[in-house]
């Protein structure tokens, strides 16, 4: 069983990489790239709570903004539209895969936020 990583605070521009490493629960990211990640809402909520207990919504918004930026830079309709290689994550993505990743992250973060609000209210 893989040990849960202890994370130090990272600058906002590093959330996507740090989130992927945090969610690498299936395998090691260096081995399987993003296929090692479980981006379920519970893991995403756990990630942003570990980053900022007082303002987790701020971290959630930063993740969404960074996903949108990734898509606008490297997605199908982005500035380069050729995809991207992220060596730290052992991942080479086509423009379409960038689109899928960014859209999935936006959706999963929104779900995580929704569940977090429901739990806080209940």
Q: Looking at residue 53, what DSSP letter applies? A: S
Banded model confidence at residue 82, pLDDT cuts 50, 70, 90: confident
Mean pLDDT of the 82-90 span: 86
Banded model confidence at residue 120, pLDDT cuts 50, 70, 90: very low
- Give residue 122's pLDDT: 43
Mean pLDDT estimate for the chain: 85
As a whole number of angstroms, the distance between CA 83 and CA 23 comes to 22
* Residue 45 contacts residue 38 (beta carbons within 8 Å): no
User: Is a pLDDT exceeding 50 seen at residue 68?
Assistant: yes
Q: Calculate the alpha carbon distances from 120 to 37, 61, 94 in Å.
A: 27, 18, 39
As a whole number of angstroms, the distance between CA 45 and CA 49 comes to 6
User: Is a pLDDT exceeding 60 seen at residue 19?
Assistant: yes
* Tokens matching residue 4: 């849960």
User: Is a pLDDT exceeding 90 seen at residue 40?
Assistant: yes
CA nearest to 21, candidates 107, 102, 8: 8
């Amino acid at each position: 069983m893989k040990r849960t990583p202890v994370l130090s605070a990272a600058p906002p521009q590093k959330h996507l990489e740090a989130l992927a490493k945090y969610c690498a629960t299936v395998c090691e990211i260096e081995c399987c790239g993003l296929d090692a990640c479980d981006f379920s809402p519970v893991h995403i909520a756990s990630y942003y709570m570990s980053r900022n207990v007082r303002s987790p919504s701020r971290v959630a918004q930063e993740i969404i903004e960074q996903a949108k930026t990734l898509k606008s830079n490297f997605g199908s309709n982005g500035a380069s539209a050729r995809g991207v290689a992220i060596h730290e994550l052992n991942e080479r993505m086509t423009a379409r895969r960038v689109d899928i990743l960014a859209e999935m992250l936006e959706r999963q973060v929104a779900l995580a936020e929704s569940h977090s609000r429901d739990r806080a209210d209940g």
